[in-house]
Amino acid sequence: MKRRILAFITVTALMATVFTGCGSSKTSSNSANTSSAASSSTAASSASSASGSTSAEKTGDVDTVTVVTANSYAPFCYLDKNNEYQGFDVDVLKAIDDLDDSISIKFETCDWSAMLPGLDAGRYDLCAYQLGKTDEREQMYYFGQMPYCYDAGGAIITTPEHSSWKSFDDIAAAHGTVACIVGSNFTNYVEDYLDKHPNAFQTKYYDSELPAVLEDIANGRVDCTINDGAVALSKAKDDNLTNIELGGYVTEGTPIWFVYANNDRGHELAAKLDKDTKELAQSGKLAEIAKDVLGSTKAADLLTESEYMKK
C-alpha cells in the first residue's frame, strides 16, 4: 500500500513537471505574435490574451521559426516580470513576425554555451543574442547578408579610480586585469589585442553574465571589463553599484547578426529574414524600436547608413 502511494506521488509530480514545462514554452512562443511589437509594455500585457489566436490570423503555410536568445541580457533580450521575452532583439524579431506572414516566431532560451550547438542539433533555427561575426563562427554557422543592428562599440567599464583609461594601452601601462566573459564579442577584441601584444595585461575569464562581473569590478576583485557602455551603466544602476564608470571606447560599432545553422534550412531562412530586416530598416521601424528600447537610434542609424543597405 505504501509503495502504491509513493508511486502515485512520483507519477503526479512527474506529470506536473512535464505539463508546466509545456505551458511556459507555449506562452513564450505566442508572445511573439502580438500585434503591436513596437512598445514592449503593451506587448507584454496583451500577450496572455492573444495566445493561441495568432495562427488563425496568418493564412497559408506558416513556418514556425524557433529563436534561441538569452533571458537576462537586458536591454537586448531578457524575461520581464511576467516571464515574457522583451528587449531589442526580441522586438526586432516580433516586428519581423508581424511583417512577414510566412513565418511565425517563437522564442526559447538556454545557457549561452548551448545556444550555437543547439543550431547544429536543429533544436533552434536561429540565434539572436547580439552576436558579431568572427572567423571561427563564420566557419561553422551562416550569418546571411544583412545585420539587424550595430553595437555601440565596447567601452572600458571600470571604477572611478581607473576611469582615465582610454585604450587597451592604458590598461597595459597600469598593469590592469581585464574581466572577459566567455564567448562575448568584446572578449574577442581583448584576445585580438593580446595576440598582437602578448602579456600586455592579465585577463580573468568569467562564465557569468555582466552583472556578476560588474559586482566584482565594484568590489575591486578585477579592474575592468570591455562591454557595451550603456548596458553596463544601466545594469550597474539596477544593482545599486554606484562606483561603476566608463573609460574610453576601445572598439567601433560593429554589425550584429542573426546566426543560422549552415544548412539549406538556415540559408533559406536567412534570405527571408534579410529581406524583412531591410524593410524594417527602410521603413524606420527599426529606428523606432531602437529609440524605444535602447533610448537612442544609434544602433539602427549605423545600419541604415551602412553598405549593407545598398546591396
Residue 142 contacts residue 261 (beta carbons within 8 Å): yes
**Separation between Cα atoms, residue 111 and residue 129, nearest integer Å:** 11
**Separation between Cα atoms, residue 199 and residue 1, nearest integer Å:** 68
Please list the residues that pair with 107 across neighbouring strands.
67
Pairing of strands 245-249, 154-158: antiparallel
72 binds another protein (CB under 8 A): no
252 binds another protein (CB under 8 A): no
CB of 55 to another protein, least distance (A): 30
161 binds another protein (CB under 8 A): no
136 binds another protein (CB under 8 A): yes
Of 31, 40, 158, 188, which one interacts with another protein (CB under 8 A)? 188
The radius of gyration of the chain's CA atoms, rounded to the nearest angstrom, is: 21
183 binds another protein (CB under 8 A): yes
282 binds another protein (CB under 8 A): no
13 binds another protein (CB under 8 A): no
Of 73, 129, 141, 189, which one interacts with another protein (CB under 8 A)? 141
116 binds another protein (CB under 8 A): yes
Residue 112 contacts residue 70 (beta carbons within 8 Å): yes
Residue 76 contacts residue 234 (beta carbons within 8 Å): no
**Separation between Cα atoms, residue 40 and residue 91, nearest integer Å:** 7
Please list the residues that pair with 257 across neighbouring strands.
131
Segment interacting with another protein (CB under 8 A) among 28-36, 87-95, 214-222, 271-279? 214-222
Of 26, 175, 197, 221, which one interacts with another protein (CB under 8 A)? 221
Binding site residues, another protein, CB under 8 A: 112-114, 116-117, 120, 134, 136-137, 140-141, 179, 182-184, 187-188, 191, 204-208, 215-216, 219-221, 262
